Structure 1
Amino acid sequence: MYKKPLTYALATGLVLSPMSLPVDAAKPAPNEQADHAFDNKVIKKISADNMYNTIALLSKQPRAAGTEGEYKAVQYIKSEFERYGYETELQPFTIQEWDGGSAAVSFNGDAFTGDVHTFNGSINGSATGSLVYVGLASADEVGDEVAGKIALIERGSFSFYEKIQNVYDKGAIGVIMFNGEGQSGNAFGYAYEGQDIPTVAITREAGLSLVEQLTNGSVQASVNVENAGPIDKTSYNVIAKKEPHPNKDNGQIITVGAHHDSVPNGPGANDDASGVAATLELARIMAKTPTDTELRFVTFGAEEKGLVGSYHYADTLTDEEVENMVAHFQMDMVGSRDAGELIMFTPDGNKNLVTDLGASAGARISGAVDYGELGRSDHVPFFLKGIPAALFIHAPLEPWYHSPEDTLDKISKEKLQNVAEIVGSAVYQVARPDTPALENARVAPNPADYDFDDRPL
């Protein structure tokens, strides 16, 4: 038995049963005329320039969870929601951040003057011994010669875990790793429980210089890591609520979300200032629009650390809220000019209410949107609570993903506009006052054919 009235109504055939759009597109059916009327009511208000300007502001600096950059971003997002008239709150939660402490290396008694990065998870400690180069540190490359020595490793081809474990199993007492071809900097690396040797990273240039020195003779090395370990920091979710018209409240809840944090070394224009910008823009146009459904617009923190913010938010929902939450629309990376086409991902690869509404809205606006299977974003915690949820994203991803090049100049206003129109239209189809549970056939959306697309992210 379906307990959510909206899901039940759609399951009876209004949307969930795949059907073709009307063949005679030149003469819209009555339903379709009504659909376009309410689409236009929403779409005509959406401004790509507004979204672009929001991205420009948010991407001025990285917004990694637990940093000042994130806090500035959440204060801005909160102020915008409040400016639109929403009941708004910051929801703090604790995350663990790795503090690399201090790391130092020396070669042949001379202190290394370049930058040294401590691997996340590295133990504190010191090691001194001969340096031995083991290439990529595959199982075939690492032999007994590393016993009692410090392993010099090139990054690439194998996981950090495998590389460290291979030299650790052969008796290495420390690890110095440098970047692979085409990679810059040295802010990388994870060590794992049980890999009890100090582990650090240096740049590719410094690493290749050491490889050359080793071809001409031996090198004595020392590695020292102090005060490294996890520390608690605070990240935030920003939650904005719009109550339905008091005389038309159907008890249902819809959430629309994006994540506001970025990776530490990137401005995150597309990932995910674009999703935040679209969320804010939809909040703006829905603020004065009558609805029979409670709307919640949420931006999540610490998505890049494993969906921590969205899991926290989902875990704070009461059983009644979960029961009444009929749909969650997640927008992540919706503005890149260099990414592929729009797709709707669900964690289990099955259609649901959100994908049905999204496909129907897309068919009216620019063409039905296909769906695929993918977790890895903030729709997952809602799905695990039994709430219909989908991720709206362009795939395959752009080359600038998770890099310092994820900047404003790569943003497409056309893609921003298209996604905001589709999601806004789909949300309004549920929330408009004359569609309690979409039972009124006059305004029920035409179902759209849309297919599974095994497209990689």
Structure 2
Amino acid sequence: MTKNKFKKVALTLALSGALVLSASPFASPYAEVVETPIGYTSNGNQDSSKDQKIIKRVDAERAIEHIRYLSEEIGPRPGGLNAEKEAADYVASQLRSHGYDVEYQYFPVADQFIAEVAFANGDSWQMGAAPNGTLSNDPVSGEVIFVEGGTDASDFPADTEGKIVLMTRESSTANYRLQVDNAVNAGASGVILQSVVGGRGNYGSTFNPSLTQAYDIPVFGAAFIQGEWLKEQLEEGPVALELTAEQHSNLESVNVIGTKKSKNKKANGKEVILSAHMDSVVGAPGANDNASGTGLMLELARVFKGYNTDKDLKFIAFGSEERGLLGARHYVDQLTQEERDNIEAVFNPDMVATKYEEARNLYAMTVDGSTNIVTDSTVAAGARLGNSDILPGKFGSSDHVPFHNAGIPSALFIWMGIDSWDPLVYHIEKVYHTPQDTIEDNISSERMQSALEVIGAGLFDVVRKDVPGLD
């Protein structure tokens, strides 16, 4: 997918900035943990000296270079498609270059319906396609018109026939189906529905329109900003597009697993995992979600390659997280009970470099809000480093979930803003899952450096092997 060259407009839509979730009983203990964190190890002075082995070596710019390759050279990486496999090959090549043993773990995923919108200047955008619309690589060409409303037949001008109709989608599925039906009856050659608001208050992402009947024209679901960019161009003059769409079937997604075996003969198979998902949603470059977590993982893999560890260390890039945590679920499901019991901790960074100012803290989130070896080690590391960004919390929407459900200590690392825990009100960046999730719009080098230092020091605390030179 080529990079958009069009000027970005100011977003004037009033969007809800926070989502109220269920109340959490952990508000007060969290405040106490920040003031006097309980570390995983006992000697603060010794631990601080050991932290230096990590923080003096980690480099946010190296991690951001991985983000650049994944989000710009590859672009959107929907689960099961070739772009995700390109990301897997990139991760594997980086891990091999640091001496890790690498394996691929494949698993089946459901069909994807992908739309491509091409401009006369060679630019193209990825959108979602309606399975009940026309799916063909033979392009449908036409001039774009924007129609206000669309739920009434009178909303469509007399010259709609043969045009590609852009409409802001109605909030209810029944109403946007009516918009599509009216556009077809007016003679439209294609329909693009503009998304407005995402499920967590973010700017709307691409989507697959759900239709109850088949149409012989393409029907696409555009991200909010794609609709705004199109409307801006229409104000400057006519816009012509070519629409194609394809059903991708018999898909396989993939996990990439890099392993560093402990030299400690008494390790007895005990292992610690640092994981991140490498896929993105359709149409989104996924710089922060989650090339940032993958970039952090690869940078820490570089730093840890030369250190003795007391336990086996695995770096895992999961596929198809955005399709329902499929890669992590598959990985956990194929483990024996003994293998599950041998996993001491899972560190899972997801969205760890956002610029969004309201996302004020880096959180170590567990599914039920309880603390464990992962949260304790990183919160303690943050205290030793004088880093007040890291806090524990409760959140159940990333690849740490399957591990938690299997009884394995795990935590998600993510930048968010929590106004209160009772009721829990959080702020998450507006542009995740959208075409605006780019390095330019959404990546902070300072936030990445903070995450590298805290997560890296906490991870080192859990896996390091004591040697005389460190004590």
- After TM superposition, the score normalised by the length of structure 2 is 0.66
Q: Which residue of the partner structure matches residue 132 of structure 2? A: 122
Quote the Cα distance in structure 2 between the aligned partners of 1:301 and 1:20: 34
One-letter code aligned to 1:415: R
Whichever residue aligns with residue 374 of structure 1, its letter is F
C-alpha root-mean-square deviation of aligned residues, in Å? Answer: 4.4
Mapped pair 1:343 → 2:356: no
> Does the C-alpha gap of structure 1 residues 118 and 157 become closer, same or farther in structure 2, counting only changes over 3 Å?
closer
SS of the residue aligned with 2:390? coil
1:376 maps to what in 2?
397
Which residue in the other structure is 1:385 paired with?
Answer: 406
Counterpart of 2:255 (choices 221, 237, 254) is: 237
Q: Structure 2 vs 1, CA of residues 373 and 166 (structure 1 numbering), >3 Å: closer, same or farther?
A: farther
Instruction: Tell me what 1:299 maps to.
Output: 317
The answer as to 2:393 corresponding to 1:361 is no
Tell me which residue corresponds to 2:106.
92
Shift of 1:50: 1.4
Given the alignment, which residue of 43, 57, 71 partners 2:85? Answer: 71
Contact 1:291 1:432 in 2 (8 A): yes
Shift in Å at residue 312 of structure 1? 1.2
Give the aligned residue type for 2:68: A
Distance in 2 (CA, whole Å) between partners of 1:20 and 1:93 is 41
In the aligned structure 1, how far is the partner of 2:289 from the partner of 2:462? 28
Mapping of 1:49-198 within 5 angstroms?
49-59=61-71, 60-62=73-75, 63-99=77-113, 119-122=129-132, 135=149, 155-156=168-169, 158-159=171-172, 161-163=173-175, 178-180=192-194, 188-191=207-210, 195-198=212-215
The answer to whether structure 1 residue 412 and structure 2 residue 444 are counterparts is yes
Q: Is residue 282–residue 424 contact of structure 1 (8 Å, CA) maintained in 2?
A: yes
- Higher Rg of the two aligned structures: 1
How far apart are 1:227 and its partner, in Å? 10
Deviation string 1:210-253 (CA, Å, 9 cap, x unpaired) is xxxxxxxxxxxxxxxx9976612122111011111233425421
Q: What is the number of residues matched between the two proteins?
A: 369
Following TM superposition, by how much is the alpha carbon of 1:401 offset from its aligned partner in structure 2, in angstroms? 1.4
Would the aligned equivalents of 2:100 and 2:259 in 1 still touch at CA under 8 Å? yes
Whole-angstrom distance in 2 between the partners of 1:259 and 1:268:
11
Change (3 A) 1:229 1:353: same
Question: Against the structure 1 CA distance between its residues 231 and 293, is the aligned structure 2 distance closer, same or farther, given a 3 Å change threshold?
Answer: same
Match of 1:41 among 53, 60, 85: 53
Specify every segment of 5 or more residues in structure 2 that has no aligned partner in the other structure, as ranges: 1-29, 117-124, 136-146, 154-164, 198-202, 232-243, 417-426
Per mean C-alpha deviation after superposition, the further-off stretch among 253-262 and 181-190 is 181-190
Other-structure match for 1:4:
none
- Structure 2 CA distance, aligned partners of 1:186 and 1:368? 29
Structure 1 residue 155, shift from structure 2 partner: 4.3
CA shift in 2, pair 1:264/1:428, >3 Å = same
Preserved CA contact (<8 Å) 1:116 1:201: no
Q: Aligned-pair distance for 1:190?
A: 3.2
Distance in 2 (alpha carbons) for counterparts of 1:316 and 1:260: 20
Deviations along 1:134-185, one digit per CA (max 9) or x if unpaired, are 9586xxx99xxxxxxxxx99544624x44467899xxx99998653587999
Query: Are residues 157 and 354 of structure 1, via their aligned partners in 2, closer, same or farther at CA, if it must alter by over 3 Å?
Result: farther
Specify the code of the residue in structure 2 equivalent to 1:343. Y
Correspondence for 1:454: none
Verify the 8 A CA contact 2:293 2:349 in the aligned structure 1: yes
Equivalent-residue separation in structure 1 for 2:369 and 2:185 (angstroms): 46
State which of 281, 284, 292 in structure 2 corresponds to 1:274: 292
Counterpart secondary structure, 1:45: coil
**Cα deviations by residue, 1:260-289 (Å, 9 ceiling, x for unpaired):** 112232222211111111101111111121
Report the Cα offset of residue 400 of structure 1: 2.5
Partners of 1:185 and 1:287 in 2: CA distance: 40
Unaligned stretches of 5+ residues in structure 1? 1-15, 24-28, 103-114, 126-132, 143-151, 209-225, 436-441, 444-457
Change (3 A) 1:398 1:91: same
